[in-house]
Chain A
Amino acid sequence: MDEDQTEEETAFVVDEVSKIIKESVEATIGANAYQHSRVNQWTTSVVEQCLSQLSKLGKPFKYIVTCIIMQKNGAGLQTASTCFWDNSTDGSCAVRWENKSMYCIVSVFGLAI
């Protein structure tokens, strides 16, 4: 029983991370329309909020959080990522969010220490 609990505490839980990302994005840009003058502040705020919530989880991980915000005007955007790591302990989670005027894509990568 103890061993199971330890595994939960030290594994990368995608659902948990996904929830943290969604909350950070909603809190920062939830009701706003795309504004060139503020987008810099928004991306910084989204990644910082995610990172502080993730480190509060207290798990033995290093984290990398990336955020892309793009104005909706018909342009095509494609993103890809690939990782060279330990499949049994490391993990990633990506969340695509949008409102009427912009798209927001946040990725979190967690690498076990």
Chain B
Amino acid sequence: MTTMEEYHSGSESSFHSEEADNIVKECIEGVVGNDDYSQSLVNKWTAGIVERCLTQLVKQGKPYKYIVTCAVMQKTGAGLHTANSCYWDTTMDGSSTVRWENRTMYCVVSVFAVAIA
């Protein structure tokens, strides 16, 4: 009985990246969907994407602090490379990165979830 309880609470308190991926994809589609890259709107888009993602993640009610980052880049042939590294508790914390694109731009969103003790 004790073993089953421990296993159960283990899976509840680890980060589920597939759920986060779905949330992020919906938020990107919702904000940017079919639009073409626009210098004047890109500021609003990145802010809109991160806020929407954060709201949806927090709604899940899990005991986590979240960091959501978003980069939107115009497609002109330039090279873009991103990397991230984390110093945390690997059993409880987790991250998820979604790469999305349409005809005129790339969008890279990362979600980092850090468990609250």
Contacts and interface: CB of A to CB of B under 8 A. Distances in A.
Contact of B73 (A66, A75, A86): A75
Given A71-B80, A76-B37, A82 B51 contact: yes
B54 A77 contact: no
Interface in A67-107: 67-86, 90, 92, 107
Given A82-B50, A111-B114, A74 B78 contact: yes
A80 B71 CA distance: 7
B18 interface: no
Given A75-B74, A77-B72, A82-B51, A66 B82 contact: yes
A64 B79 contact: no
B46 A51 contact: no
B13 interface: no
Given A66-B82, A78-B43, A90 B75 contact: no
Size range of the interface on A?
35 or more
A57 B60 CA distance: 34
Nearest to B105: A76
A107 B39 contact: no
B87 A70 contact: no
B61 interface: no
Nearest to B113: A84
A39 B81 contact: yes
A40 B74 contact: no
Given A63-B88, A70-B80, A80-B69, 20 more contacts: A39-B79, A43-B82, A46-B83, A48-B85, A62-B87, A62-B114, A67-B84, A69-B81, A71-B78, A76-B37, A77-B73, A77-B74, A77-B80, A79-B46, A80-B47, A80-B49, A81-B50, A81-B68, A82-B51, A83-B65
Interface of A: 34, 36, 39-40, 42-44, 46-48, 50-51, 54-55, 62-86, 90, 92, 107, 109, 111, 113
* Chain A to chain B: the 4 pairs with minimum beta-carbon distance, closest first: A43-B83, A80-B46, A47-B85, A81-B69
Interface of B: 37, 39, 42-43, 45-47, 49-51, 54, 57-58, 65-89, 93, 95, 110, 112, 114, 117
